[in-house]
Amino acid sequence: MRTLRALVAAALLCLVPVLPAHAADLTYDFEDGTTQGWGPRGGGVSVAVTTDAAHAGTNSLLTTGRTDTWHGASIAPPFVKGVTYRVTAYARLVTGQPASTIALTVQRTPTGGETTYERVAAATVTDGEWVRLAGTYLFTADSTDLQLYAESSDATSQYYLDDIVFSPQGDPTREPITTDFEDGTTQDWSPRAAASLQAGTAAAHGGARSLAVTGRSASWDGPAMNVLGRMGKGDKYALSVWVRLGPDTTAGRLGLSIERRTGGTPSYERIVPPKDVPAGQWVQLAGTYTLAYDVDFLSVYLESDSGAFPFYLDDFAMTYIEPKPIQTDIPALKDEVPFIMGSALTRPDTLGVHGQLLARHFNGITPGNELKWDATEPREGEFAFADGDHLVDFGVEHDMTVRGHTLVWHSQTPAWVFEGADVKEVDKETLLRRLENHVRTLVTRYKDKVAVWDVVNEVIDENQPDGLRRSKWFEIAGLDYIRTAFRVAREADPDAKLFINDYNTEFPRKREALYALVKQLQDEGVPIDGVGHQLHLNIEQPPASYVEDTIERFATLGVDQQVTELDVSIYTDFVSSYPSIPPELLVEQGHRYKALFDVFRRQASKLSSVTVWGESDDVSWLNTWPIPRLNAPLLFDHDLQAKPAYWAVVDPSKLPPLVRKLEAPAGTVKVDGKRDLQWDLLPDAPLPRVGGVSAGFQARSAPGGLYVLAEVTDPTVSSQDKVTFTVDGTMYTVTRAGGPKAAVRRTTTGYRVEALVKKGTEVDVRVHDAGTAISWTGKVTTAPAVKLASAAHRTPVVDGVAEPVWRVAPEIRTATWIQGTSGATARVRSLWSGSTLYVLAQVADPTLSEESPNPWEQDSVEIFVDPGNGKTKGYTDDDGQYRVSFSGHVTVGGTFDAAGVKDNVTAVAKTVPGGYVVEAAIKLPTITLAEGTLLGFDVQVNDATGTAHTGAVTWNDATGRSYLDTSHWGVLRLAD
C-alpha cells in the first residue's frame, strides 16, 4: 500500500512529472572511501569519511567544526523538477555530544524568486544509536543552486551520516494503488458521509482482514478514496475491488463510481454499475476509467443502487493501463469508402491514442451523449455546452462532418421538460414552446459547424396501430412535436440537413411504419431531408439483405440516407457473457461487416455517410448495455488495433476464411425441384449477394445420404449457371439442365436445385453465374428431426376447461427432458382463429409449488411462439415466451424489453386431480394467420418442488435454451 498524501500535493499543482532517465535510487554509503560528492557547508566545517562508526559496512561520513545551526554536510542533489523523491538517511552523534534534532533541508532559488529552505526530514538524534530520517521532496518551479544539507538544532553538534538514499518516486499517475487492510488501518479510505469504516477480521477476501462499512446514511454513502493527482488526464486505469454483503444482509447491488469536480461542479460516473452481490459471496467489481477532464476533486467510491446496507470491501487495486500505440501502417478507413466514414465519440475519445485513431480513420463524428437534452439543457433555460463545444470543435478542427445527435428523444430528456407548473403534466403549448427554445438554441449555436441533425430520434413503435411511439412527446403533442422540431431546426439553420433517426429500420414492420411517417411528413411539407438507420445489429441478425431492402425502399421517397450508429454485437441475446472473446467470433463478425459494407458500397449513391457507434471496442456502449459484459462490436479492438472487421471494410482478401456451421436435421424430401414442406421448417442459410445473384442453402440427413437445397436468385438464364456441392472432397455439379440424383426447377426469381449427395461434414456450396460465384463453406452436422404439429381452425372458450372443441386438435406431448429425466409433463393441443393462437396444456403434476420467487422455477407451462418461424438465435421483437403458472400467473419473455409481445397473452389455469390445465390465447398481430402458416413453436413444462426447479421438459427443443434462442423450437402448422 502506498500513501497518497505526499503525492496528492504534487497533483494539486497540476503536474504531469516526467521521470528522469536515471530513475534509479541514488545511494551514498561511503564504502569506497570517498565523500561521494558531499562537502562542507559553512566556514570551518569539515566533512570526511571515517571508520569510527558505520550504519552498515565499515564507513560513514563525519561532520565536525560546525559553529552554526545551518552548518553541516551538504551536496548538490540531482533532483529534477516535478519528480517526487523519497529521501532516507541514518544519523548518529559522535560520542559525548548532547541529543539534538538533525534535519535534512533543501535550499533552492526559484528563477526570479527568493531563495527558499524546505525541510525534508528530521528526527531527534543521540550518540547512542543510528536514527532513521525519512521524508519526500518535490519542487515544481524552475530553480537553481539546489543544496541538500544536514543541519542541527545544536550549533556545534558533530555527527555521522550513512546510507543516504534519494529515491525518485516516478509519476504518481503511473503508480498503482492497492489496499488490503492487512495492517489494520483503513488505508486511505474515508467515509463519503456518515458511514463508518473499520478494518477487521470479520471477513476477508485475501489475507485476514477487510474493510467493514456500516452506518451508511444513503445508497451513495460509503467508502471513498481521494485519487486526485493519481490519474492523468487522458489516461486509462483498471480498477478492481472485491465486495461482500454485511451480516444480516440477504441481497444487494453494489457498484464502483467516481466523483469528479471541475470548478467545484460535481459530476458522477459509473465505473462498474451496481451489480448483484449474493449473500455470503465475494464479488469482484472491475472496470476501467479514463479521466477526460481537468479536475480539482477526484474520488473513487462504492455505492449501492438502493438501500444503505452494510458491506465489506477488500483488495482494491487501481493501475494505469499503458496504451498500445495505434497502427500507422494501415490504410485510413475514410480513404477506402465512397461515403463519409463517421464515428460516435464522447469527451475522453478526443485524447491520447483515441484522439489519434479518430483523426486518422474518420472524417465524420457524432457526439454520443453531449448534445442530448439532458446534457445541453438540464434545467429550463440553463444551457450547458462545454462538452458539446469541445466535441464539435474537435470535429471542425479535423475537417470532419459533424452529426448533431439529437434534438428530440424520449430518453435522456430531463423530467422538467414534461412537468407543468401546478399540474403533473405540462400542457401542449408549453411543451412545444420548450421544444422550440431548445431546438432553436442548439441549432443556432452550431450553425455552420453541425452539418446534419438527428432532429427526432426513435419516434416509431411498430407495435402501435399507427406505428407511432407513445412517448410523453407524442401523448402530449401528437405529431406536432415532430413538425415543430423540423420547422424550427430549418429556420435556425437552413443549410443543416435534417434527419429522422431510428433503430430496427431494417426489419420490415418497422421499416414500413417509418416509411409511412416520412411520407406523411413530406406530403405535409415538413422539411425532412433524410432518414438515419441506426443499425445496432448483432453477429447473426438481421441479414444484410434486410438493410439493402430498407435502403432501396426509402430511396423511393427521394430522401438522403445515412447509417448512423452501426455496431455488431457478438451476442445474440441479452444475458450471455464471454469472459474473453472467442477469436473465431471476430472472424465471423468480419464476414458480417463485409456483407454490410458490400451493401453500403452498392447503395453508395443513396447513402451519404456511415457512422459506427464508437471508434473502438473499449469505448462501446455495448460493454454496459443491456447488461455489463465484455463486447466487441466495432472495427478496432479494446487496444485500438485493427480487427478482422476493419479488414472486412478495407481489404476483405485479408479476412481469414469463415467456416460456417449448419445443422442438417433428420428428414427426407422428394428430389423433384419442388419446395417440400420439410424445407420450410427452417430458413435457408444465406449466400450473400454479389451482383444480382444470391442464394439460400439447406440440408437434411437421411440414411441414404444428405439432401441439399439451393434456392438461387439469378434473374438471367445463362449456360454457365450452375451449382456445385462439394462434400468431404467429392464434387456434385448441377446445371440449369440438371445433374445426377438432382432436380432443377425455375422459380420467379431464379431457380431451385435439390440433390441427394453422400453423407459428410465438410461442405462447400458454390453458385456460379457468368464470371462470378458466391459460396457457403462450412461444417454440416446431423441433428434430430424438427418436429411438426398442427393447429386446428376452431375457437375455444378460454376458461381453463378442455371443452369438446379441443378434441379436433391433434395432441402432442412434452418428452424432451432438458432438466432431470422425469416429473411433470403435458399433453398439448392448439387451435387458431382470426389472429389468435390457442393452446391447451393438460399437465400431469401431483404436487404444485409457487414458492420460488422466480417464475421460471414455479410449476408452470411455457409456450414459445415465433410468428415468422425465423429460427433466429436471439429473439426478434415478435418472438415470445409466454409462461403461465398452475395458478394462472402470467409472465412474458422476448427481446430485452419484451415490448413487442408483452400484451399478447391471456390465460386461465385450473388445478385438476393429478395436475392442472392451462388454456392460453396468444394474439399474433404481426402476421396474418391462414391455413398453411408456419409458426416457430414449442412448449416447456417446469416442475418445482418447494423452491427448487426439479425438472423441465419440452416438446422439441433439446438445448435448454428456448428462453434465449428460437432456433431449436419446433414448428406448428395452421390447418384448415
Q: Where in the sequence numbering do the catalytic residues fall?
A: 458, 502, 565
Nearest to 163 by CA among 57, 65, 81: 57
Strand partners, 41: 72
Q: In angstroms, what CA-CA distances link 361 with 38, 337, 355, 532, 616?
A: 56, 11, 10, 21, 11
Q: Is 705 left (phi over 0), alpha (psi -120 to 50) or beta?
A: left
CB 589 within 8 A of CB 644: yes
DSSP letters of 741-785? TEEEEE-SSEEEEEEEE---SEEEEEEEETTEEEEEEEEEEEEPP
CB of 622 to ligand XIL, least distance (A): 9
Tell me the three cell numbers of residue 367: 457526439
Rounded to whole angstroms, the Cα distance separating 358 from 345 reads 9
In degrees and rounded to multiples of 5, residue 486 shows phi and psi of -70, -40
In degrees and rounded to multiples of 5, residue 393 shows phi and psi of -65, -40
Which of 63, 534, 678, 895 is close enough to bind ligand XIL by CB under 6 A?
534
Rounded to whole angstroms, the Cα distance separating 679 from 79 reads 80
Rounded to whole angstroms, the Cα distance separating 879 from 961 reads 14
Beta strands in 374-440 (DSSP E): 401-408
Other Cβ atoms closer than 10 A to 732: 19
Q: Is 457 in the site for ligand XIL (CB under 6 A)?
A: yes
Q: Is 369 in the site for ligand XIL (CB under 6 A)?
A: yes
Q: In angstroms, what CA-CA distances link 734 with 45, 292, 684, 740?
A: 105, 61, 19, 8
Q: How many CA atoms lie within 13 A of 32 on its CB side?
A: 6
CB of 642 to ligand XIL, least distance (A): 22
- What is the per-residue binding string for ligand XIL in 328-367, x denoting contact by CB under 6 A? ----------------------------------------
Nearer to ligand XIL, 60 or 457 (CB): 457
Nearer to ligand XIL, 225 or 345 (CB): 345
Written as one letter, the residue type at 347 is R
CB of 267 to ligand XIL, least distance (A): 14
Nearer to ligand XIL, 64 or 369 (CB): 369
CB 698 within 8 A of CB 717: no
Rounded to whole angstroms, the Cα distance separating 211 from 184 reads 9
CB of 432 to ligand XIL, least distance (A): 22
Nearest to 244 by CA among 220, 280, 208: 280
Q: Is 288 in the site for ligand XIL (CB under 6 A)?
A: no
Written as one letter, the residue type at 214 is T
CB of 634 to ligand XIL, least distance (A): 12
Nearer to ligand XIL, 457 or 724 (CB): 457
CB of 541 to ligand XIL, least distance (A): 17
Nearer to ligand XIL, 146 or 627 (CB): 627
Nearer to ligand XIL, 154 or 567 (CB): 567
Contacts of 636 (CB under 8 A, 6+ apart): 357, 615, 616, 617, 642, 643, 646
Rounded to whole angstroms, the Cα distance separating 756 from 671 reads 7
Task: Evaluate the omega torsion of the peptide bond into residue 761 and state whether it is cis, within 30 degrees of 0.
Answer: no
Rounded to whole angstroms, the Cα distance separating 176 from 607 reads 48
- The residue nearest ligand XIL at its CB is 621
Nearer to ligand XIL, 566 or 812 (CB): 566
645: burial class by Cβ within 10 Å (0-12, 13-18, 19+)? buried
Q: Is 726 in the site for ligand XIL (CB under 6 A)?
A: no
Q: Which residue has the cell 439532458?
A: 374
Nearer to ligand XIL, 344 or 792 (CB): 344
Tell me the three cell numbers of residue 564: 448512423
Q: Is 896 in the site for ligand XIL (CB under 6 A)?
A: no
Tell me the three cell numbers of residue 326: 495505434
Rounded to whole angstroms, the Cα distance separating 513 from 467 reads 5
Which of 303, 370, 377, 565 is close enough to bind ligand XIL by CB under 6 A?
565
CB of 563 to ligand XIL, least distance (A): 13
CB of 963 to ligand XIL, least distance (A): 25
Q: Is 621 in the site for ligand XIL (CB under 6 A)?
A: yes
Other Cβ atoms closer than 10 A to 306: 11
Q: Which residue has the cell 413444462?
A: 941
CB of 594 to ligand XIL, least distance (A): 24
Nearer to ligand XIL, 72 or 368 (CB): 368
Nearer to ligand XIL, 600 or 613 (CB): 613
CB of 459 to ligand XIL, least distance (A): 11
197-256 binders of ligand XIL (CB under 6 A): none
CB of 321 to ligand XIL, least distance (A): 20
Q: Is 290 in the site for ligand XIL (CB under 6 A)?
A: no
114: burial class by Cβ within 10 Å (0-12, 13-18, 19+)? exposed
CB 323 within 8 A of CB 236: yes
CB of 804 to ligand XIL, least distance (A): 51
Which of the 8 DSSP states describes residue 246? P
DSSP letters of 312-362? EEEEEEEEEEPPPPPPSSS--HHHHSSSEEEEEE-GGGGSHHHHHHHHHH-
Which of 368, 530, 644, 665 is close enough to bind ligand XIL by CB under 6 A?
368
Which of the 8 DSSP states describes residue 652? G
E strand or H helix at 598, and its extent?
helix 583-602
Q: How many residues of this chain bind ligand XIL (CB under 6 A)?
A: 6
CB 879 within 8 A of CB 901: yes
Nearer to ligand XIL, 195 or 439 (CB): 439
Nearer to ligand XIL, 565 or 859 (CB): 565
CB of 615 to ligand XIL, least distance (A): 12
Nearer to ligand XIL, 166 or 453 (CB): 453
For the chain, the residue count is 976
**Chain residues in the site for ligand XIL (CB under 6 A):** 368-369, 457, 534, 565, 621
